[in-house]
Structure formats: C-alpha cells, structure tokens
Chains A and B, each alone.
Chain A
Amino acid sequence: MTEKPTPTTSRALDAPFIAESAEVAPAARLGARSRIWHHSQVDAGVRIGEDCVLGKGVHVASAAVIGNRVKIQDGCGVFGATLEDGVMLAPGVYLLEDQAPRAVNPSGHLKGRKDWRRDPVTIRYGATIGANSVIAPGVTIGRYALVGIGSVVGHDVPDHGLVMGNPARQLGWSCMCGHRLNDTLACPSCGRLYHQRPYGLSLAT
C-alpha cells in the first residue's frame, strides 16, 4: 500500500477561521479565508466577504454588509453599516445607525426591533477610520477618505477627504497610499497626482 499525502484541497485552506471564544451566528455569512478573533460577535443576517480580519472584541450586528479584504480592529462596533472592499476600521470605532436613539417609546415601553428606522453608515472602497472615531447614522465616507483619530463625523466625507476633530472638519486630502497630499494635490510619498471632481478627488490620468 502506498502512502498518500494528506489531501490539501483549496476548500480546506480557504475555510474561514473563527477563534474558539468568538460567536458567529449560524445564519451569518462568512467568506473564504476571513478570520474572526477572540470574543468577537457576528450576528445573524450579517454578510462578511473574503480575506477579512475582525480583531478582538468586535461586534458586527443588524444585517451589516462587509466586502472583501476589510480590516476591523479590536473593540469596534459595526451596526448595520455597509463597508466596501478594502476598508479599515482602527480600534474602537463605532458606526451607528439610529437617528433617534431612545430606550423607550413615548408611552414608556422598551423599544423593540420595529420601533426604529435604520439609517446605517456607508464606508466606500479603501477608506480608513481612525481609532476611537464615531460615525453618525446615515453618513457616507468616500473612497480612500481618511478620518483622523478620535473624530466625530456627522457629515458625508468626499472621496480622498481627510477629516479630523469633533465635530470633524475637512483639513485636506489623502492619497491611496495613506499620506496627506500637498497643496498641488500630489502625494509627497508615492508621487501620485489627483484632480478635483464634484464628489472629491480622483487620480489624474
């Protein structure tokens, strides 16, 4: 009898990884090679794409939709948001979705699932949200935008917009590579050039 090597099918290699202490609802969808680390929680109805990383203690709830190659670092709360491919949430980011948050309705009863209207956040391709930032319900963060540490963002951010503060203000523009553009919309680090467009910047071609 000949000894056969253990079959390493791509299916086995592609299986998502879920740490033992994490809780992923059976009805959640989790793409190939995505990794869910310790004490994270993914609720039913959530969809997560391929090659994502959820750090320690992340909660993804309320039918959030997360694309591919998304990094969500320790302690984030993602409530109903849509995250396009390549988005990064630094530690402690909260994406909120209730414009009128109350524990009880006017008659004094505890509000339930149907007592409020979802108004989730959208984060577009390649954008980064700095640590401990909070994004208000209904806000859209543009492609490759950069939200500085500890910001409170209540308004939409254009593509490549660099915002910071509480309330967040736009202070400049950020490159695909993550560096701040200079006055001529050129990146001092990688040399890429950008043009102004109505919705923000796009690469000069």
Chain B
Amino acid sequence: MSIQATDPQTVARQILGEISGRAANSIDASTRLSDLGLDSLGRLTLAVLLEERTGRPLPDHKMLSVRTVNDLERLLTSSERSA
C-alpha cells in the first residue's frame, strides 16, 4: 500500500485515482467526477474512503452537490476548517 497523504487535494486525487484506475496526477481541479466514470457505487466508495482517511464525516447532501474535483477539494477544505 502506498503512503497516504493528508492534505485534502492529494487525498481526493489519490482516492479518485484508485477508484477510476487513472493516474492521480492526470486528474486536475476541473475534472468532473462523471468524466472519471464514477457511477453510484463509485460515489459510495469515494464517500466512504474519504471519511476513513480524513476521519471526518461527509454529509450526503453536501456530497450530492459535488460535480468536479474542485468542488470536492473545497468541501474537504471547509470540513477540515470547521473540525
């Protein structure tokens, strides 16, 4: 297993890479989750892995509005600040 990063951006892109099978460094802020081929199971996996690795809950209604990698990273940063 690779070393796990802790900053939101790296964590998000690392997990998206694992789920989509794409290299994490090929994913940028404007990439849409749908472009990574994430279906409902992919989104479930994403939410669960993010919570596990950041140790912070991600409410469904907030995850629902996430369309791009940028949306996701902003959500993670805001949950980090409010923690």
Residues of A within 8 A of B (CB): 148, 162, 164-165, 169-172, 180, 182-183
Chain A residues with Cβ below 8 Å from B48 are 165
Q: Do A165 and B44 touch across chains, with their CB atoms under 8 A apart?
A: yes
Classify chain B: how many residues form its interface, as a range. Answer: 10 to 19
Cα(A89)–Cα(B36), bound, Å: 31
Chain A residue with Cβ nearest B32: A183
Q: Chain B residue with minimal CB distance to A174?
A: B40
Q: How far is the CB of B19 from chain A (nearest CB, A)?
A: 13
Which label, helix, strand, loop or mixed, suits the secondary structure of the B interface? Answer: helix
**A170-B41 contact given A182-B34, A183-B34, CB 8 Å threshold:** no
B34 & A171 in contact (Cβ 8 Å cutoff): no
Instruction: For residue B48, give the distance in angstroms from its CB to the closest CB of chain A.
Output: 8
By Cβ-Cβ distance, the 9 closest A-B pairs, closest first, are A170-B60, A171-B43, A171-B40, A183-B67, A165-B44, A169-B60, A164-B44, A171-B44, A164-B40
A165 CB contacts on chain B under 8 angstroms: 44, 48
List the B side residues contacting A162 at CB < 8 Å.
Answer: 40
Say how far B39's CB is from chain A's closest CB, in angstroms: 7
User: Which residues in B have their C-beta under 8 angstroms from that of A182?
Assistant: 34
CB distance from B45 to the nearest CB of A (A): 9
Cβ of B20 to closest chain A Cβ, rounded Å: 16
Can you list, as one digit per residue, whether each of B50-70 has a CB less than 8 Å from chain A (1) or not (0)? 000000000011011001000
Report B27 CB to chain A, min CB distance, Å.
Answer: 17
Q: How far is the CB of A50 from chain B (nearest CB, A)?
A: 33
- Chain A minimum-CB-distance residue to B64: A170
In the complex, chain A residues whose CB is within 8 Å of the CB of B39: 180
